Amino acid sequence: MSSIASDKEFAIPTTLNLLVIALQLCAMFAIFYGASVANAWWQLALLALAFAVVGNSVYSIIHEAEHHMLHPNVVLNDFLGAFMALFFPAPYHLLRQGHLCHHRANRSDDEAFDLYFDGDQPIVKWLKFYGIITGVYWVMVVLSNIVVLLFPFLVKKQLYEFDEPFAKFVEVLDPRYRWLIKLEAFLVIVLHATIIWGMGIPFWNYAIVYFGFGFSWSAMQYVHHCGTTRHVTDGTRNLWIFGPVDRLWLHHNWHLTHHKQPTVPWIHLPRLGQQQDPNRGFLPWYYLKMWRGPRYTEKHVENRYTGRVSK
């Protein structure tokens, strides 16, 4: 995979990133306050919609940290990424390993959620696929906080032989991060319990508003890749939804450009994308097309980039 981030032309916008984080924190706590006083369904619906926008912006900041593009100091980069991941909410060092594995396995048999093969269990493929586009995937990631804390014995490859791609991911998790992931999961639970109790937010209000983000995040996790060419870097597409929202999401929808140059910070992606791959599709249209479900194929593409993510 190509990398041109060493070029000074593509410098990390450090000050701007810190300002974005500050604004995101203010926006999130304003929404939490709204959830504490909301008493009508339409108020919760608006707050959930607002959190869908803000939460995906927060994830875009986490994503920058995952690629070490949030701050030039690696320690501070990971600290900021871990702190913002508490609002995802999930352990940063688990999210990071999963995301970097995604870059290595993209569109191979290990990550072709829209396809199934001879020997697969189609029901597993269908459940995973529709779980992604309906928000269940996000719920499972959030539940990982409880799993790594209370049921670590469940994180074993042998338990997931019915789902070979996931079993491979479990196998390559770096054990050096095990206790750090547990600490982050503990802090997730403490933080959100404190917010709910300290701000007097009814639990279901909190859950509904947060699922506004969870559903939208999960629904978009494969929309850039579904139906694309079976190639590790080219197997994605650039999309758009609405100019201001695209900017709030730190140009995350320039996804083909990002996969081709995964170490170029977000602020440079539109310019680079216009030069290299200017064609962009309308995100909601591609999301609706995903409801057709997985398709059978006989074409296999091997994942040639395996092993642990250790940096």
Task: Report the C-alpha dihedral over residues 60, 224, 91, 204, rounded to 10 degrees.
Answer: 90
Average pLDDT over residues 145-169: 75
The rounded distance, in Å, linking the Cα atoms of 85 and 216 is 17
| φ/ψ of residue 115, rounded to 5 | -135, 155
The rounded distance, in Å, linking the Cα atoms of 217 and 251 is 15
What are 20-37's pLDDT values in tens digits?
999 999 999 999 999 999
Contact call for residues 214 and 228 (beta carbons, < 8 A) = no
Local confidence band at 146 (pLDDT 50, 70, 90 cut-offs): very high
Which residues 6+ apart lie within 8 Å of 198 measured at CB?
none
What's the full length of the chain, in residues?
A: 311
Tokens for 35? 């959830």
Average pLDDT over residues 152-162: 69
Average pLDDT over residues 117-136: 92
Domain chopping of the chain, boundaries:
8-296
What are 33-77's pLDDT values in tens digits?
999 999 999 999 999 999 999 999 999 999 999 999 999 999 999
Q: What is the DSSP letter of 282?
A: E
- Tell whether pTM > 0.85: yes
Tokens for 285? 């249209």
Local confidence band at 159 (pLDDT 50, 70, 90 cut-offs): low
Query: According to the model, what pLDDT value does residue 303 have?
Result: 82
What are 76-101's pLDDT values in tens digits?
999 999 999 999 999 999 999 999 99
pLDDT at 3 over 60: no
The rounded distance, in Å, linking the Cα atoms of 152 and 149 is 6
